[in-house]
Structure 1
Amino acid sequence: MSDLIDLLQWPAMAASLLAAWLVGSRSAQRRMLGFRVFLGSNVLWVVWGWQDDAWALIVLNCCLAVTNIRGILKNESG
């Protein structure tokens, strides 16, 4: 199981890169998708960090998740 969780770092990285690309879009729909992909990558990083005892990474991704939720809310209202 540990080996499978260890592999999560690669989709987490890919999702983070894709999300950053989408968030930089002029299209509101793409930006919203980017924030949602970022939230998915936050979950993947937390799962990976948990099994590796990477507490700073877990805290960072929890904080980033809050900023991504803020991004979603700001994009919905404006």
Structure 2
Amino acid sequence: MDLLNLVQWPAMLVSVVAAWYVASSHKGKRNWGFWLFLVSNVLWIVWGVHTGAPALIVLQVCLAAMNIRGAMKAQA
């Protein structure tokens, strides 16, 4: 099995944990959630490049931009 194919599993796990944290009423956890989403964006981009999924790559870049915006707002 190709090891880069396994990247999708930690990407999925980090995405779920990030969503859980972003939904928190605690400001610190929400902030962590945005940063975890950025980690998941990177993982999904790596997997998308490996599998040749350009739509996934573009989606993750757009979502990363929104997560950066969210992280900045969470810190303010």
TM-score tier (shorter): over 0.9
Match of 2:26 in 1: 27
User: Where in structure 2 are the equivalents of 1:1-78 lying within 5 Å?
Assistant: 3-77=2-76
Among the aligned pairs, what percent are the same residue?
54
Aligned-residue offset at 1:68: 0.3
Q: Which contiguous aligned blocks of 4+ residues in structure 1 show a shift greater than 4 angstroms?
A: none
Amino acid at match of 1:41: S
Aligned-residue offset at 1:20: 0.3
Give the TM-score taking structure 1 as reference length.
0.94
Tell me the SS of whatever aligns to 1:13.
Answer: helix
Tell me the SS of whatever aligns to 1:25.
Answer: coil
Q: Note the aligned Cα RMSD (angstroms).
A: 1.0
Where in structure 1 are there 5+ consecutive unaligned residues?
Answer: none
Give the TM-score taking structure 2 as reference length.
0.97
